[in-house]
Amino acid sequence: MLEALDALMTERRIDAVLVYGSSTFGNPELCYVVGANLARGGIYVKQRMKDPVLIVSNIDSGEASKGLVKDVRTYSEYGYERLVARYGRNKAGSLLFDRILKKHRTKGRIGLYGRNDANDVLELSKRLRRLGYTIVGEPHPSVLEAAMETKTLLETDKIGNVGKKTERVVKKIIEFLKNCEIEGEYLTHEAKKVTVGIVKVLTRRYLAEENLVAPEDVIIAVGPKSADPHYPGVDSDLVMIDQPIVFDIFPEEIGGYCFDMTRTFVFGKASERIRKMYEAVREAQQITFDLIEEGRRAETLMNTVCDHFAGNGFKTIRDLVRGVKEAEKVGFVHSLGHGVGLTIGERPYLSLNSDDVLKSGNVFTVEPGLYDPEFGGVRIEDVVALTESGVTNLTSYEKTLDAEMLK
Amino acid sequence: MLEALDALMTERRIDAVLVYGSSTFGNPELCYVVGANLARGGIYVKQRMKDPVLIVSNIDSGEASKGLVKDVRTYSEYGYERLVARYGRNKAGSLLFDRILKKHRTKGRIGLYGRNDANDVLELSKRLRRLGYTIVGEPHPSVLEAAMETKTLLETDKIGNVGKKTERVVKKIIEFLKNCEIEGEYLTHEAKKVTVGIVKVLTRRYLAEENLVAPEDVIIAVGPKSADPHYPGVDSDLVMIDQPIVFDIFPEEIGGYCFDMTRTFVFGKASERIRKMYEAVREAQQITFDLIEEGRRAETLMNTVCDHFAGNGFKTIRDLVRGVKEAEKVGFVHSLGHGVGLTIGERPYLSLNSDDVLKSGNVFTVEPGLYDPEFGGVRIEDVVALTESGVTNLTSYEKTLDAEMLK
């Protein structure tokens, strides 16, 4: 929670937080503290125990003032244009930061945050250090990562809302596919074989109707190829019957919160091997749900699921660490989950050797999966929220391997 | 061009380029050198005059091997999992970099690149420096920015292709609007007033059908509100006749190249003021096209357009620099253009005091605009490519203020 930032700064001896970037899009840290979409980004400065200041381009000041920061100013107020004219863009950049920090009497240990090209960070920090500022790097999780890790109820609601929209999209895709014909090994629509390309275009269209976008694509992986958990499916792939199809959809609101859900279905008759994998994955998810509580170490969840899979005769990523090369491609080859918020790659990480401990406010995926290059993959992924009143599953979509059983 | 990287490194005394990040999505620098979409990102190391190495997560190795780097390895090959188990994630990260750099005998001045949280860059560079490495920041443009600034013909083709798709989308939107009815001051469809929300959903649907996404939204700004160049239009806005409507569409291929185009139309009859602004903007664009050539300073284009507007009685951003507060909101309030590639915010920048010089391989927008809070905004934006054979406009969409004149 952003409200926790002061306490986190005190705990980690950070006197000022400086979040910056050339856009809030693709910059979750800046988007988080600003609470608005700024095409040209900005510079957010917050001293410990003080209200923040946000400095933006003139043309973004209207949008910025609709956000979380009350004190919005423009670069022009600090004479940026004249600095550029006099010193050139490179030097003017650090001189602008200098003027902002001086004006707001920002001293002590200053942390920099926000997605920027690493070279830009190195150059800016070098120049600021030369000007006498103490620029510090923190070990993960930084104060901002720690703040972002615990969601407010409002944030959890927003994520849940994206979830409802995402589920409607999946429902429409499945309805389309259930209404297709079967010809030999393939689904057909209007006498043509259904391709993954067609299903992806439909998916993006349904997402559009819900005001969602999927800039990182969606995964629609059919048959043995689905054994690679990151195989996205290519447009020419055909939708086959009797084979597992992994639907992994991770859209976002424009400049807003994300969701991430996976279902695996078979149209027709699943093989015994896939059915066995599916049952083990469902059990793994339930075992995880039962373990979620405040104070539980995230790696405990991961380890318990590895134990469960190992006990059922499957390889896991732990075997890989022990040198079993085969475990790169077969069994439970990835982590159990990750936080969901303005990104789908944040804390808590439910992985081996994760140093995260579950807290009230965490929103994260639970996504066990099993993979076998000969048969394909099976993954089920929900997003859950841990609040003071317990665990809420933000995903209500049915779980069944047999597509024909779906309502 | 990536081929220029060695020469650029020599020129700037960079011995090794290290590009990293947790995903190639939202990380144009990493995407550029890798040439593939990697959900978990990777570490790219290139020493001067040597072939690069790419290290990725096991589950991304399949996708990575389809990209530009021939020598693809996995974190496991460097014992990453055991480092994490022994030292924890924070220390293991920098120790992994250490192992990679040692294994490939990487010495000298090392630059870091790729979009990462600034704190992560500060922490990693601190740890690597403690291990004895020389980590340097370069003034802009970095070697990678400079390489990315000049596109190959293949890249230009790809951008042009996104352009053709984008134009088809705009054509469909305009066709929809032209088929609407007029009731009073508004356009109506099936007896309901047409909202910007409806037009945006249609836009996203048409984008989906072209396999494009617009994660940073699209601008559909109607009437006086369009005088704010970054006002995106909200869903409840109504589509009015006799008012300027600014359509600014900047989509991207998934994990690929971008486009950026703007047209301003009036359905019905434009006011004299808007018509005068439109003519001045069209002329400004033509003046710019005529000036584009290798070796021309980018700021010359911007200054010439400011001269043109000033000569026609309009305020420009230069007046703002001279202290005319009004020029924040009235006249030509933004820059003339920016590079287009894997981002829509790269070199060359056609702005005041830009230090860019036009080069063969540049692909950039030419987007003059005029704004007046009482009447609205007018902007026309094309993407042009400067190659050895001259200037090519990658945008062929018609330019007219009167929507009814459109074919």
- Of residues B89, B121, B136, nearest to A121 (C-beta): B121
- Of residues B25, B116, B201, nearest to A208 (C-beta): B201
Reported as a pLDDT band with limits 50, 70 and 90, residue A81 is confident
Main-chain dihedrals φ then ψ at residue A87, nearest 5 degrees: -115, -5
CA distances to A62, A233, B307, B337, B368 from A59, in Å: 7, 41, 21, 15, 15
Q: Are residues B302 and B190 in the same domain?
A: yes
Q: Are residues B156 and B140 in the same domain?
A: no
Domain boundary among A147, A175, A197: A147
User: Could you give the CA distance from residue B245 to residue B180 in angstroms, rounded to a whole number?
Assistant: 15
Mutate to test the interface with B, among A83, A112, A122, A319 (most CBs of B within 10 A): A122
What pLDDT is stored for residue B328 in this prediction?
85
Chain A positions in Cβ-Cβ contact with residue B321 (cut-off 8 Å): 81-82, 85
User: Could you give the CA distance from residue B79 to residue B139 in angstroms, rounded to a whole number?
Assistant: 35
Q: Cβ separation of B137 and A126 shorter than 8 Å?
A: yes
Chain A positions in Cβ-Cβ contact with residue B142 (cut-off 8 Å): 117, 119-120
Q: To the nearest whole angstrom, how far is the Cα of B370 from the nearest Cα of chain A?
A: 13
Main-chain dihedrals φ then ψ at residue A207, nearest 5 degrees: -60, -45
Q: Which helix (H) or strand (E) holds B147?
A: helix B143-149
| CB proximity list for A66: less than 8 A, separation 6 or greater | A36
Q: Are residues B157 and B131 in the same domain?
A: no
Answer yes or no: are the C-beta atoms of A257 and A151 closer than 8 Å.
Answer: no
Q: Which helix (H) or strand (E) holds A341?
A: none
What pLDDT is stored for residue A323 in this prediction?
83
Q: Cβ separation of B213 and A204 shorter than 8 Å?
A: yes
| Nearest-Cα residue of chain B relative to residue A141 | B90
Reported as a pLDDT band with limits 50, 70 and 90, residue B325 is confident
Percent of chain A with pLDDT over 70: 100
- Of residues B119, B145, B254, nearest to A112 (C-beta): B119
What pLDDT is stored for residue B236 in this prediction?
97
B100 has a pLDDT exceeding 80: yes
Answer yes or no: are the C-beta atoms of A346 and A230 closer than 8 Å.
Answer: no
CATH of the domain at B60: 3.40.350.10
Q: Which residues of B339-349 are buried (b: 16+ CB within 10 A; e: fewer)?
A: bbbbbbbbbbb
Chain A positions in Cβ-Cβ contact with residue B84 (cut-off 8 Å): 352-353
| Nearest-Cα residue of chain A relative to residue B203 | A208
How, if at all, do strands A337-339 and B134-136 pair? Answer: unpaired
Q: Are residues A231 and A266 in the same domain?
A: yes
Q: Which helix (H) or strand (E) holds B311?
A: helix B298-311
Residue B182 CB neighbours (<10 A)? 12
Compute the count of residue pairs across chains A and B with CB atoms less than 8 Å apart: 225
Residue B385 CB neighbours (<10 A)? 25
**CA quadruple A219, A220, A225, A229: dihedral sign:** positive
Q: Which helix (H) or strand (E) holds B150?
A: none
Identify the CA nearest to A148 among candidates A124, A197, A114. A114
Q: Cβ separation of B118 and A112 shorter than 8 Å?
A: yes
Structural domain including B42 reads 2-147
β-partners of residue A149 are none
Answer yes or no: are the C-beta atoms of A137 and B122 closer than 8 Å.
Answer: yes
A407 has a pLDDT exceeding 80: no
- If you ran DSSP here, which 8-state letter would residue A78 be given? G
Cα A62 vs. chain centroid, distance in angstroms? 28
Chain B positions in Cβ-Cβ contact with residue A232 (cut-off 8 Å): 37
Chain B positions in Cβ-Cβ contact with residue A60 (cut-off 8 Å): 230
Tokens of A46: 């917050």
Tokens of A66: 């609709």
| CB-count exposure of residue A88 (10 Å: 0-12, 13-18, 19+) | middle
Q: What is the pLDDT of residues A278-312, one digit of tens each?
A: 999 999 999 999 999 999 999 999 999 999 999 99
CA distances to A259, A288, A355, B103 from B81, in Å: 28, 23, 14, 17
User: Could you give the CA distance from residue A259 to residue A251 in angstroms, rounded to a whole number?
Assistant: 6
Answer yes or no: are the C-beta atoms of A362 and A150 closer than 8 Å.
Answer: yes
Q: Are residues B107 and B224 in the same domain?
A: no
Q: Are residues B61 and B89 in the same domain?
A: yes
Mutate to test the interface with A, among B9, B117, B365 (most CBs of A within 10 A): B117
Q: Cβ separation of B25 and A215 shorter than 8 Å?
A: yes
Domain boundary among B131, B147, B163: B147
What pLDDT is stored for residue A62 in this prediction?
87
Q: Are residues A306 and A273 in the same domain?
A: yes
Q: What is the pLDDT of residues A120-156, one digit of tens each?
A: 999 999 999 999 999 999 999 999 999 999 999 999 9
Q: Are residues B237 and B124 in the same domain?
A: no
Q: To the nearest whole angstrom, how far is the Cα of B406 from the nearest Cα of chain A?
A: 27
Q: What is the pLDDT of residues B194-251, one digit of tens each?
A: 999 999 999 999 999 999 999 999 999 999 999 999 899 999 999 999 999 999 999 9
- Of residues B82, B123, B145, nearest to A137 (C-beta): B123
Domain count, chain B: 2
Q: To the nearest whole angstrom, how far is the Cα of A230 from the nearest Cα of chain B?
A: 6
Using DSSP's 3-state secondary structure scheme, residue B268 falls into: coil
Q: Cβ separation of B115 and A117 shorter than 8 Å?
A: yes
| Nearest-Cα residue of chain A relative to residue B252 | A215
What pLDDT is stored for residue A230 in this prediction?
87
Identify the CA nearest to B383 among candidates B346, B332, B354. B346
Q: Cβ separation of B135 and A114 shorter than 8 Å?
A: no
Q: What is the pLDDT of residues B160-179, one digit of tens each?
A: 999 999 999 999 999 999 99
Domain boundary among B147, B169, B203: B147
Q: Are residues A205 and A265 in the same domain?
A: yes
Q: What is the pLDDT of residues A262-274, one digit of tens each?
A: 999 999 999 999 9
Q: Are residues B363 and B306 in the same domain?
A: yes
Mutate to test the interface with B, among A17, A117, A352, A354 (most CBs of B within 10 A): A117
Q: Cβ separation of B117 and A113 shorter than 8 Å?
A: yes
Q: How many CA atoms lie within 13 A of B11 on its CB side?
A: 12
Q: Cβ separation of B37 and A84 shorter than 8 Å?
A: no
Reported as a pLDDT band with limits 50, 70 and 90, residue A201 is very high
CA distances to A87, B28, B259 from B350, in Å: 18, 21, 17
Q: Are residues A68 and A141 in the same domain?
A: yes
Give mean pLDDT, residues B376-402.
97
User: Could you give the CA distance from residue B155 to residue A393 in angstroms, rounded to a whole number?
Assistant: 44
- If you ran DSSP here, which 8-state letter would residue B327 be given? G
| A81-90, A186-195, B264-273: segment of lowest average pLDDT | A81-90
Q: To the nearest whole angstrom, how far is the Cα of A301 from the nearest Cα of chain B?
A: 16
Chain B positions in Cβ-Cβ contact with residue A328 (cut-off 8 Å): 58, 74, 76
Q: Cβ separation of A254 and B40 shorter than 8 Å?
A: no
- Of residues A117, A125, A209, nearest to B205 (C-beta): A209
CA distances to A113, B33, B356 from B20, in Å: 17, 10, 26
Q: Are residues A232 and A250 in the same domain?
A: yes
Q: Cβ separation of A142 and B113 shorter than 8 Å?
A: no
Q: Where are the beta strands (DSSP E) in A93-202?
A: 109-113, 115-117, 134-136, 181-183, 186-189, 192-193
A59 has a pLDDT exceeding 90: no
Using DSSP's 3-state secondary structure scheme, residue B300 falls into: helix
CATH of the domain at A247: 3.90.230.10
- Of residues A23, A74, A209, nearest to B201 (C-beta): A209
Chain B positions in Cβ-Cβ contact with residue A345 (cut-off 8 Å): 22-23
| Nearest-Cα residue of chain B relative to residue A19 | B118
How, if at all, do strands B53-56 and B42-47 pair? Answer: antiparallel
Q: Cβ separation of A119 and B125 shorter than 8 Å?
A: no
